[in-house]
Amino acid sequence: MPDWLNRLLGRKPDSAVQAKERLQLVLVHDRTDLSPAKLAELKDEIIEAISRHIEIDPQAVQIEISQEGREQRLIADIPLRPRRRRGR
Amino acid sequence: MSATVVTITSGKGGVGKTTATANVAAALAAEGHKVVCIDADIGLRNLDVILGLENRIVYDLVDVIEGRCRLRQAMIRDKRLPTLHLIPAAQTRDKSAVSPSDMVRLCNELRHEADWILLDSPAGIERGFRNAIAPADIVLVITNPEISAVRDADRIIGLIEAEEKGPARLVVNRLKPEMVRRGDMLAIEDVVELLAVDLIGVVPDDEQVVVSANRGLPIVLDGKSRAGQAFRNIARRLQGETVPFLDLESGAGFFERLSRFLRSGGN
């Protein structure tokens, strides 16, 4: 059954769809040996290191693993805060 | 003659490595190639029974490696397929009896005598697996369209890359088209997308595989079996031929066709 129809009928998605989604998540972590907890820890450390040099918004920082084929990449998106005006 | 060494492995046990080894070997031999298959699953030998050669074993792989016999003495020739040979695993030893460099040396010696050397790897990621991939020119990873088998296949594909034996080529075994149609089994495209490796074979689930194992007759010798056809196709693809994949989804249900039609934008 296509997913949209299951949703329309208020049914659970097909088990194959669930298997695929679960595998997508588990394989990322298997391949990198990086658990979600470790990734969160890494994120905190990156925020801390960068904050020592430049002002950033910790809430807006996004760190994730992207995949291209079997290649993995750690992608960090770190928006900078606009420089505050300094008093003369 | 300089043989190509093909290792068949999987990570997870019970997905059909030995069946695949026996049948690809038999398919190549049926085309006239000289094939030597080696059962590298020491302590859990099985390739001999699948090929129906269990009563003819005198010497085994460990005997060759430890110098108790010559290589030729351990090669059992299949009477039905005279170019097919088996070097059986030792049954009373364990994997530590053989090292990766032993396997490389053995295969190098055999390369002059065969067109193809097929190595049936044990399950797992330890010594036995490392022994089996050490001499490989090509590694085939067998999986089933099931969540645990796919996960283990991914792990093994990563290890094969790390050993610089990649890229592995994928065989999806025991596909049940009917379950795929119902949305209860991962489709081939899903498995290939998840594992991101090239596909070399899709083998449908086929009860005749059990029957042929019972009889010790490779299923590729059965002209009517779909699984047999799939294994023959793998043998041809190994030789570099382009062979279309079996159409296992013919007769897809109405919803699948509709949804595919909608996704493709009606093209």
B256 falls in which pLDDT band (50, 70, 90)?
A: low
Q: Which two tokens stand for residue A22?
A: 């679960």
Contact (CB<8Å) A70/B197: yes
Position B267 scores a pLDDT of 47
Domain contains A38: yes
By the CB < 8 Å criterion, does B155 face chain A? Answer: yes
CATH number of the domain at B158, please: 3.40.50.300
Distance CA B160, CA B92 (A): 28
Domain with A17, as residue range(s), is 1-33
Distance CA B50, CA B209 (A): 10
Per-range mean pLDDT, top range of A32-46, A70-84, B109-123: B109-123
Domain with B249, as residue range(s), is 4-263
* Same domain, residue pair A44 and A76: yes
Q: What's the predicted TM-score (pTM) here?
A: 0.86
Distance CA B120, CA B10 (A): 10
B146 falls in which pLDDT band (50, 70, 90)?
A: very high
Position B260 scores a pLDDT of 59
Nearest CA-CA distance, residue A62 and chain B, Å: 24
Contact (CB<8Å) B154/A20: no
* Same domain, residue pair A42 and A76: yes
Interface test with A, best of B154, B175, B249 (most A CBs within 10 A): B154
Position B186 scores a pLDDT of 97
* Same domain, residue pair A22 and A47: no
* Same domain, residue pair A38 and A58: yes
- Among residues B5, B8, B53, B18, which one has the least CA distance to residue B210? B18
By the CB < 8 Å criterion, does B181 face chain A? Answer: no
Domain contains A70: yes
Position A85 scores a pLDDT of 61
ipTM: 0.83
> What strands, in cross-sheet order, belong to the sheet with B84-87?
B76-77, B84-87, B35-39, B116-120, B4-9, B138-143, B169-175, B198-204
Name residues whose C-beta falls within 8 Å of residue B81's C-beta, 6 or more positions apart in sequence: B26, B29, B30
> Kind of pairing, strands B35-39 and B84-87?
parallel
Nearest CA-CA distance, residue B256 and chain A, Å: 7
Distance CA B118, CA B53 (A): 16
B39 falls in which pLDDT band (50, 70, 90)?
A: very high
Contact (CB<8Å) B183/A14: yes
